[in-house]
Every structure is written in structure tokens, then in C-alpha cells.
């Protein structure tokens, strides 16, 4: 065993630890941060810790049974895909954390790993209450479109995670920006559209979406920008970043249009989906310091729906299990380093 990974008295000063490369001493010091965003994001993640038992799912099965057949299919296919996203992200984060050098950044990733596992637990709790857990978790075996999307996301994660260069580490961070910022959004929107018909699912997704969009996405947009700022990044690597988000947009729209063709639900059109995903993709590019490349449109109703649920603190608790704490809103600047 190489002990330098645990304690290195001759390692770098804590304030000199970069995300890529170097020899850290082994200390995590929240009072001395090279960046300002890492401890801020950690504090917000920690303040907003929640557990699936806090969401009232007592009537979920009854409510699910009242949905139309198309709505039931959208519900099941959405949770089948979202559950894979969090499962893949938890595994990817473990690998990315090993590549990172800055110990405080690694600590924030550790907390995100816990939250991704918590999301996986929430899907299990929700679908068990609904009575279709085994069916939903096995849908990838029978639905080619679902299996294809899962495979494409997995391949984008795996493509650059070997840590052989700073450019590959940057592209690995880009894969996480895509996951947190693109692959979840239509799924969140579908559940919000069902809304009061399935309050358990809606409230569970509120918590998950707030984790993903209020802290997980800012974490990796800052990681991306910081790696780029601290290192000489090849122009071809930036070009690949653009290619990766174009792929992500296509993957998300292909699956969304498949669901719409198979199980149309009121208020969703191909144009709405395309405008929503492209608007989100442009926003993600701006957040990592790149120029938007997609067709820009007015904020869509689906975007407004997602934003509305990010801002509200009205999740109802399960009286018999626990009380819900309001999901805190941050006044911290999470995009400043």
C-alpha cells in the first residue's frame, strides 16, 4: 500500500492543491479553501439533507391507479430512466473522486455520492409504495429505447474517465454537467405535469431536482471552469465538449420523442421538448464559460414548471413517519472562484 495517498508531510500546502495533478498532504481543512465555491456548495448540500421517509407516499398506489394508461406508462418509463441516472452518477463520482487532487473538492464529491444513493433509495421507496417496483426497475430489459438511452449515457461517462490527462478529466466533468443539466430535465417535467394526480411522486422529485440543480450541477460547472482555468486545455478538447453536449441533447430528445409517440400526454409536443432541452443546453454552456450554440427560444412552460418547484417549500410530510424541513434557499455565490 502506498501510504502517501493517506498522509504526506512533504505534500503541497492546502491552498496550493489544484483539482488536477499534484501531491496533497492528506488534510481536509474547511477553513482554508483554494476556491470559494467548494465549501459553499458543501454547506448548502449539508443544510438540505433529506430522506425519502419524509415524503408522504401513503396514497401513491391509489393515485397511480387513477391515472390514464398513457400517464401510467409515462410515470413508469420516467422513473425507470431517472433511477438509472442516479445509479450511474454514484458510480461515476466514485471514479472521478479518485482522480481529483484537491481534498476539499473530494469531500464535496463524497457528500454528493451519499445524496445520489439517497435518490436511488427514494425511487425504491416510491415505487414500492406504488406497487410496481420490480416492473419499473426491469423495464430496460424489454424497452429498446430505454436501454439505448441508458447505454449512451454510460458510454459518455466511461469515455474519458481514465485520468491519463487533464483534458480527459475536463471531459469527464463535462459528462457530469450533461447528466445533471440535461438528462434529468424532461423526466422532472413529466412528473410535474402529472402534479396533484401523484403528489408522492411530485414531492419526491421536488427534493431530487433541488439537489441536482441547486448543488450538483453548480459543483461540476465549477469543477469544469476551474480545471480549464488552471491548465492549458487543448482547443480540440473544448470542441469535444461542444460535441458531448450536442450528443446529450440528441439523446434526451430521442427518448423524449419516443415517449411522446408511444404515450402522448396533454400539453407535451415535440416542439415544446426541443425548445426546453435546447434552452437548458445553452444555459449549461454559459455556466461553464462556453458560448451557446443551440436555437434560443422563450422560456417554455415546462422550464417554468421546473423552476417553480425549485423555488417552493411546500412538500408535505408523512405524519406517521417524520417531518419535512424546508429546503433551504442559498444566498451564496456558487459560481465564484
C-alpha cell at 33: 479553501
Q: What are phi and psi of 149, to 5 degrees?
A: -65, -45
C-alpha cell at 92: 461515476
Residues 6+ apart with CB under 8 A from 234: 167
- Model confidence pLDDT, tens digit, residues 196-223: 999 999 999 999 999 999 999 999 999 9
The pLDDT of residue 321 is 42
- Residue 14 DSSP one-character state: G
pLDDT beneath 50, residues of the chain = 1, 312, 315-325, 329-332, 337
The pLDDT of residue 163 is 79
HSE-CB for 295 with a 13 A CA cutoff: 7
The pLDDT of residue 26 is 83
- Model confidence pLDDT, tens digit, residues 11-55: 888 898 899 988 888 888 998 889 989 999 999 999 999 999 999
Q: Which residues of 281-296 are buried (b: 16+ CB within 10 A; e: fewer)?
A: bbebbebbebeeebee
The pLDDT of residue 81 is 96
Which residue, 225, 129, 131, is CA-closest to 174?
225
- Domains of the chain are 38-311 (1.10.620.20)
The pLDDT of residue 267 is 81
- Cα 199 to Cα 55: distance, rounded to the nearest angstrom: 9
Its pTM stands at 0.91
Amino acid at each position: 500500500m502506498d501510504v502517501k495517498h493517506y498522509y504526506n508531510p512533504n505534500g503541497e500546502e492546502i491552498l496550493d492543491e489544484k483539482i488536477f495533478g499534484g501531491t496533497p498532504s492528506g488534510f481536509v481543512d474547511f477553513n482554508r479553501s483554494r476556491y470559494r465555491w467548494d465549501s459553499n456548495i458543501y454547506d448548502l448540500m449539508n443544510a438540505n439533507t433529506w430522506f425519502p421517509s419524509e415524503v408522504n407516499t401513503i396514497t401513491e398506489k391509489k393515485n397511480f391507479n387513477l391515472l390514464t394508461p398513457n400517464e401510467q406508462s409515462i410515470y413508469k418509463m420516467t422513473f425507470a430512466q431517472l433511477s438509472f441516472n442516479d445509479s450511474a452518477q454514484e458510480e461515476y463520482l466514485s471514479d472521478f473522486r479518485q482522480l481529483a487532487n484537491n481534498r476539499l473538492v473530494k469531500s464535496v464529491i463524497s457528500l454528493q455520492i451519499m445524496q445520489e444513493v439517497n435518490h436511488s433509495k427514494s425511487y425504491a421507496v416510491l415505487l414500492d409504495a406504488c406497487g410496481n417496483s420490480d416492473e419499473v426497475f426491469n423495464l430496460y430489459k424489454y424497452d429498446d429505447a430505454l436501454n439505448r438511452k441508458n447505454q449512451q449515457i454510460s458510454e459518455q461517462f466511461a469515455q474519458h474517465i481514465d485520468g491519463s490527462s487533464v483534458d480527459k478529466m475536463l471531459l469527464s466533468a463535462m459528462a457530469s454537467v450533461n447528466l445533471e443539466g440535461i438528462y434529468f430535465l424532461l423526466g422532472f417535467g413529466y412528473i410535474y405535469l402529472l402534479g396533484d394526480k401523484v403528489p408522492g411522486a411530485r414531492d419526491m422529485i421536488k427534493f431530487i431536482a433541488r439537489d441536482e440543480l441547486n448543488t450538483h450541477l453548480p459543483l461540476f460547472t465549477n469543477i469544469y471552469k476551474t480545471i480549464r482555468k488552471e491548465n492549458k486545455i487543448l482547443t480540440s478538447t473544448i470542441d469535444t465538449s461542444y460535441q458531448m453536449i450536442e450528443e446529450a441533447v440528441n439523446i434526451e430528445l430521442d427518448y423524449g420523442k419516443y415517449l411522446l409517440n408511444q404515450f402522448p400526454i396533454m400539453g407535451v409536443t415535440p416542439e415544446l421538448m426541443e425548445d426546453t432541452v435546447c434552452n437548458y443546453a445553452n444555459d449549461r454552456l454559459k455556466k461553464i464559460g462556453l458560448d451557446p450554440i443551440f436555437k434560443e427560444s422563450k422560456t417554455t412552460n415546462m422550464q417554468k414548471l421546473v423552476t417553480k418547484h425549485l423555488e417552493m417549500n411546500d412538500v408535505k410530510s408523512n405524519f406517521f413517519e417524520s417531518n419535512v424541513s424546508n429546503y433551504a434557499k442559498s444566498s451564496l455565490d456558487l459560481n465564484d472562484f
